[in-house]
Every structure is written in structure tokens, then in C-alpha cells.
């Protein structure tokens, strides 16, 4: 018997305590959240609730007193917060998680204990990679720590940083060796309470278009003195720690952001159902139905891709760099596209700051601004690009077998092995062989036919990538490799979809063939293609399912089927 509630119980409790979103008197409802957003403040009542329910424990490994054992559970619980208010989700806990993974993966036992205790006491941790001048170009980082006797003196300026002004500790990415190369940076654990106040200064808050309530600011270190015990792991390990930490956070973040689309879909369906245009409900307008169906397929796609990636971090940790970069690139783009479609369906009401649909424009802005939380989509492509030729020669052009466990959300998972997360996949890919498995399905079946199309696309991708010269894979070399990397993210999403269709049965997944077909239809079919609207024969069953689930207040997502060992989905 687990000492803590199951994911389902935790989600149910949190949902109940968040209360009715439409109740104007609910301090955690949409009206209160909108008021906080107008004031550019984080929802204080929401933070209090999350503190009361001990949400931070979801981000702390079980071995250190928390409840984090499985990435899928963490996603399920955190997504519940993002479904209500993405700004609250970002500002309360997930920001701390983005920082803490560095400590879980590389910190000393003392650092791990200190950070676990800090989080379990409802403290916040801030991760500071960003410098305005260098974005995701980590090696260009100017913040540095130089040795002076027994002390490291930290100097530099990091911004924009979530929770910069109220974090109990920072994980600072800094240069610790002037030599070139990948062993010249370290992460440093800095507690403002432990350093002279004049050496650590938080800068004025940064305003944003969306996630307006998120307390973003800069932090500046001036000869900030640190002991050697501040270095996370071994000196010079910083880049490796960062890259492996991203493999967990680049899965978790897009997965929880999908919660915003769940709410956006419900708002759109409710609004359009109550709206009469041209003598009928707006929900009967074919063009509106197609937009809603596409956005719904996008939600299912986002949840399927991130569910598979989350299992991948546990089951094929050596490949987590491509699981994470592929999922983050694809899902963040999918969510943006889905919100565009919903906004088109909503028309002017998608942008009104008052009235019944006001919450939609907040979600629309929040999802766009989510970029401030984490690595850019281009950075994800840059993770995939150098790996493409080796993936082609070592996996795509060979008869590899898929890891079927990736596609079985109801099955148990081994613990996350931080030391088995590697900075690259070394050409190994146990996901895309699922395409070939699905292509071997019954002839004449539409899913089989689609699987054969995607198998062909993987073959074409392999030919293009095997022919790439190293010089074509650098950030400045041109757009070809970017396009191929983006297409690889689509091919992976197709494999996740088809694998889940084949192996994910017996869970809460719907057993209807429109869903794999609709998800595949939302994926760009070649490197330079864009997302297209769903054809009517897929859009109609999708939109009917969406409307029925919204009407009955049932979950919209796919990735809810996992059960704890011995439990029920």
C-alpha cells in the first residue's frame, strides 16, 4: 500500500479543492483568476491552496520525502493546476521543479536533502540559465565564478527568471573555468540567506503579455561568495547536468501546458453551443466544427506524445534527449496552432477581456507567453539536428524493434535513473519502429494504410539525414537540417500515436479508429508542410466526441489510463 495517494486520488482531490471555475465567488474560480491577471499578480489564494495540499511534494523524489517517482504522475497532478490557471502552475511549483531536477540528477546528498526540505516547507527554487543577451546559447553564458582562496566569487546577471525575487534558493548556471569546451561550466546552489545581501540583488520585475501574474525578474550577483559545497556535482559538470535535466523538464512542461488547451476547448464548446448564428447553433456550422475537431485532435496528440515521452524517460533513458526535444518541439507548436484554431472559431469573443468568454483570451496569452518558462522550440531542434545522421545509420535504416512498453500507459514503470540519461541518444531509437509494426496491420485497414505512408516518410527522412554533412548541421548552416529535425519530431509523434493505438488498449483510451487517424492527419506530412484541417470523415466523429465529453463533464485527454501497480485505471 503506497504511503501517499494515487495519482488519480491526488488529481481528484486537487480538482475538488479548486472548486467550480464558474462560481464568481470562488477565490480559485475564473473570475478571481482574471482579476489577478488584470492586476498582473499571481493568484494568492491558489498558491495558498497548493501549499496546503503539499503540491511541492510531487516534485520531490520519494526517497527524499516527496511523492516523485514517476514522471507521468507528476504530469497528471501538475496538469490539474495548469488546467485551472497556467500562470499559477508556472509560478507555484513547476518553476521549482525545473530547478530541482538539476539537484536530483547531480547534487550531493547534502544538497538534495537541503533542496527537498526547502520544497517540502513550501519554499521556491529558481533556475537561472537565461541571460538576455544569449538566450538558449548556454555556452555563451557570461555569468562566472572564479576562485579566490577558499571561496568562489560569483558575478553576472540572469534574466528573465521565474520567481527571482522570492526564491529561497537559486540553481545558477555559470562558467567556472575560462578554458573552452564543455567542461567549463557548473551549476551552483545559491541561498540568498547565506550570502551578504549586497552581493545578490534582484532586479525590477519584467512585465509580459501573457502569464502576466508570473513573478519574472532578474537576479544579479556581484562578488557573491560561495563555498565549494555550492557546486552541484563535480566542477565542470554543469552542461551535462543541464542537458540531462532538460530531458525531464522538456517532457513535463509541454505535458502540463496541454492542460490549458483542455480548458480552452471546454470554453469554446460552451460559448459556441450557446451562440445562434444564421438561424442555428454555431456548433452546427461545418467550418466551426472542423476547427474544434482539429484543436481536439491536437489535445489528444499532445497528451499522447508526452505520455509516450514520459514513459520513455523511464524505459529508454539513453534516448531521452530525443524523446524530450521531439516532444517539446512538437507539442508546443501543436498547442499554439490549436489555440489559433480555437480563436478563429471564437471570432471576436476570443479576445474580449470581459464577459463569459474572458477567460479564453487569458489562456490564449498565457500559452503564447509560456515561452518565457523554458527553452525555445528552435533550441529543441538544435538538440535533434546533430543526432540525425547517426539515427539514420544506426536505427532508421536497420531492423530495430520498438519498445512496446512506451505505449502502455497502464503499465508500471521502473524508477527514473538519472545516471542513465545521456546527452545524446547515440543513434538509438526504439520509438519509430512502431511505424513498421503498425504498417504490418491488416491490409485494407485505413490505419495500416496511414502507417505505411509514415513508414515511407521515415525512409525518406533516413535518406536525407544519412546524406547530411556535419557542416550542414550547425545552427548557422541553413534551414535544411532544421526542417529535417522538425519532420523527425512529426515522425516520432506518428509513431507514438500508432504505437499507442496498437498497444495502449485495455486502458481508458477510446477504442475508435478516428482518433489515431485524426492525430496523424494533424501532423505535417513532409519537412516543409504545415498542419492542415481535418477531413470531414475524421472531424465529425472527433467533434461529436468532444461535445459529448464537454456536455457530460468527462475528461478530454487520452493519457489518463495509467494505474498504480494493482490499482484500477
Partner 1 sequence: MTETTAEATDDRSAAGVGDWLTRQIADFAEVPADSVAADRPLTEYGIDSVSGLAICARIEDHYDLDIDPTLLWDAPTVEALTDLLRDELAARG
- Partners of 158 in the beta sheet? 219
Cα separation, 440 vs 402, in Å, equals 13
Burial class of residue 415, CB neighbours in 10 A (0-12, 13-18, 19+): exposed
Which of 426, 452, 459, 513 binds partner 1 (CB under 8 A)? It is 426
At residue 162, φ and ψ (nearest 5 deg) are -65, 130
Q: What is each CA distance from 174 to 157, 171, 237, 319, 429, in whole angstroms?
A: 10, 10, 11, 27, 32
Cβ neighbours of residue 39 closer than 8 Å, sequence gap 6 or more: 213
Question: Least distance in Å: CB of 282 to partner 1?
Answer: 51
Q: What is each CA distance from 436 to 395, 448, 455, in whole angstroms?
A: 13, 10, 6
Burial class of residue 195, CB neighbours in 10 A (0-12, 13-18, 19+): middle
Contact string (CB under 8 A) for partner 1, positions 452-481, x = contact:
------------------x--xx-------
Which of 422, 452, 459, 513 binds partner 1 (CB under 8 A)? It is 422
Contact string (CB under 8 A) for partner 1, positions 97-136, x = contact:
----------------------------------------
Contact string (CB under 8 A) for partner 1, positions 224-263, x = contact:
---------------xx-----------------------
Burial class of residue 134, CB neighbours in 10 A (0-12, 13-18, 19+): middle
Question: How wide is the angle at C-alpha 169 spanned by C-alphas 152 and 208, nearest 5°?
Answer: 115
Residue 535 interacts with partner 1 (CB under 8 A): yes or no: no
Which residues 354-413 are close enough to bind partner 1 by CB under 8 A?
Answer: 386-387, 389-390, 393-394
Taking alpha carbons only, the member of 94, 376, 86, 50 closest to residue 257 is: 86
Question: Least distance in Å: CB of 231 to partner 1?
Answer: 17
Question: Least distance in Å: CB of 394 to partner 1?
Answer: 7
Which of 427, 527, 557, 561 binds partner 1 (CB under 8 A)? It is 427
Sign of the torsion angle spanned by Cα atoms 502, 508, 511, 512: negative
C-alpha cell at 176: 567556472
Question: Least distance in Å: CB of 426 to partner 1?
Answer: 6
Which residues 158-187 are close enough to bind partner 1 by CB under 8 A?
Answer: 180-183
Nearer to partner 1, 240 or 306 (CB): 240
Question: Least distance in Å: CB of 61 to partner 1?
Answer: 23
Nearer to partner 1, 155 or 424 (CB): 424
Taking alpha carbons only, the member of 521, 567, 541, 392 closest to residue 467 is: 392
Question: Least distance in Å: CB of 413 to partner 1?
Answer: 23
Nearer to partner 1, 239 or 461 (CB): 239
- Stretch in the footprint of partner 1 (CB under 8 A) among 54-62, 98-106, 164-172, 418-426: 418-426
Question: Least distance in Å: CB of 469 to partner 1?
Answer: 9
CB 557 within 8 A of CB 409: no
Nearer to partner 1, 63 or 139 (CB): 139
Q: Which residues bind partner 1 (CB under 8 A)?
A: 180-183, 239-240, 386-387, 389-390, 393-394, 422-424, 426-427, 470, 473-474
Amino acid at each position: 500500500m503506497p504511503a501517499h495517494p494515487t495519482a488519480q486520488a491526488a488529481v481528484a482531490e486537487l480538482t475538488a479543492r479548486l472548486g467550480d471555475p464558474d462560481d464568481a465567488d470562488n477565490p480559485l474560480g475564473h473570475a478571481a483568476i482574471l482579476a489577478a491577471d488584470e492586476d498582473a499578480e499571481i493568484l494568492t489564494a491558489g498558491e495558498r491552496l497548493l501549499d496546503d495540499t503539499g503540491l511541492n511534494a510531487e516534485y520531490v523524489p520519494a526517497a527524499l520525502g516527496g511523492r516523485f517517482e514517476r514522471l507521468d504522475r507528476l504530469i497528471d497532478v501538475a496538469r490539474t493546476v495548469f488546467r485551472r490557471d497556467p500562470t499559477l502552475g508556472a509560478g507555484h511549483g513547476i518553476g521549482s521543479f525545473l530547478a530541482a531536477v538539476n539537484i536530483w540528477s547531480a547534487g550531493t546528498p547534502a544538497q538534495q536533502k537541503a533542496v527537498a526540505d526547502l520544497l517540502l516547507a513550501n519554499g521556491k527554487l529558481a533556475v537561472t540559465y537565461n541571460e538576455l543577451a544569449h538566450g538558449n546559447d548556454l555556452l555563451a553564458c557570461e555569468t562566472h565564478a572564479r576562485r579566490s582562496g577558499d571561496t568562489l566569487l560569483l558575478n553576472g546577471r540572469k534574466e528573465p527568471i521565474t520567481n527571482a525575487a522570492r526564491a529561497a534558493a537559486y540553481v545558477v548556471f555559470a562558467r567556472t573555468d575560462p578554458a573552452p569546451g564543455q567542461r567549463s561550466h557548473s551549476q551552483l546552489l545559491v541561498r540568498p540567506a547565506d550570502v551578504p545581501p549586497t552581493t545578490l540583488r534582484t532586479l525590477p520585475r519584467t512585465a509580459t503579455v501573457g502569464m502576466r501574474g508570473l513573478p519574472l525578474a532578474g537576479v544579479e550577483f556581484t562578488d557573491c561568495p560561495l563555498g565549494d559545497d555550492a557546486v552541484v556535482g563535480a566542477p565542470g559538470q554543469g552542461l551535462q547536468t543541464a542537458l540531462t535535466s532538460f530531458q525531464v523538464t522538456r517532457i513535463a512542461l509541454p505535458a502540463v501546458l496541454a492542460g490549458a488547451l483542455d480548458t480552452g476547448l471546454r470554453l469554446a464548446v460552451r460559448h459556441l453551443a450557446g451562440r445562434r448564428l444564421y438561424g442555428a447553433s454555431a456548433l452546427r456550422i461545418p467550418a466551426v466544427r472542423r476547427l474544434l475537431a482539429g484543436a481536439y485532435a491536437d489535445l489528444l496528440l499532445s497528451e499522447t506524445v508526452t505520455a509516450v515521452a514520459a514513459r520513455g524517460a523511464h524505459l529508454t533513458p539513453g534516448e531521452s534527449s530525443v524523446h524530450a526535444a521531439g516532444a517539446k518541439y512538437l507539442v508546443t507548436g501543436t498547442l499554439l496552432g490549436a489555440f489559433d484554431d480555437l480563436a478563429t472559431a471564437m471570432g471576436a469573443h476570443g479576445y474580449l477581456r470581459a464577459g463569459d468568454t474572458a477567460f479564453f483570451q487569458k489562456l490564449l496569452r498565457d500559452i503564447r507567453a509560456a515561452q518565457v518558462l523554458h527553452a525555445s522550440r528552435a533550441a529543441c531542434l538544435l538538440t535533434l539536428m546533430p543526432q540525425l545522421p547517426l539515427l539514420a545509420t544506426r536505427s532508421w535504416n536497420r531492423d530495430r524493434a520498438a519498445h512496446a512498453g512506451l505505449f502502455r500507459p497502464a503499465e508500471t514503470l521502473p524508477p527514473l535513473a538519472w545516471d542513465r540519461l545521456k546527452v545524446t541518444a547515440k543513434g538509438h531509437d526504439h520509438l519509430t519502429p512502431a511505424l513498421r509494426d503498425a504498417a504490418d496491420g491488416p491490409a485494407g485497414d485505413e490505419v495500416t494504410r496511414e502507417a505505411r505512408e509514415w513508414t515511407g516518410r521515415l525512409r525518406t527522412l533516413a535518406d536525407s539525414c544519412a546524406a547530411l554533412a556535419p557542416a550542414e548541421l550547425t545552427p548557422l548552416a541553413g534551414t535544411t537540417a532544421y526542417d529535417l529535425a522538425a519532420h523527425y519530431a512529426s515522425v516520432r509523434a506518428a509513431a507514438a500515436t500508432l504505437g499507442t493505438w496498437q498497444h495502449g488498449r485495455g486502458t481508458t483510451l477510446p477504442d475508435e479508429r478516428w482518433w489515431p487517424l485524426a492525430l496523424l492527419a494533424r501532423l505535417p506530412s513532409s519537412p516543409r508542410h504545415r498542419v492542415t484541417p481535418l477531413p470531414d470523415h475524421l472531424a465529425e466523429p472527433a467533434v461529436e466526441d468532444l461535445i459529448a465529453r464537454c456536455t457530460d463533464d468527462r475528461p478530454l485527454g487520452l493519457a489518463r489510463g495509467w494505474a498504480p501497480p494493482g490499482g484500477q485505471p
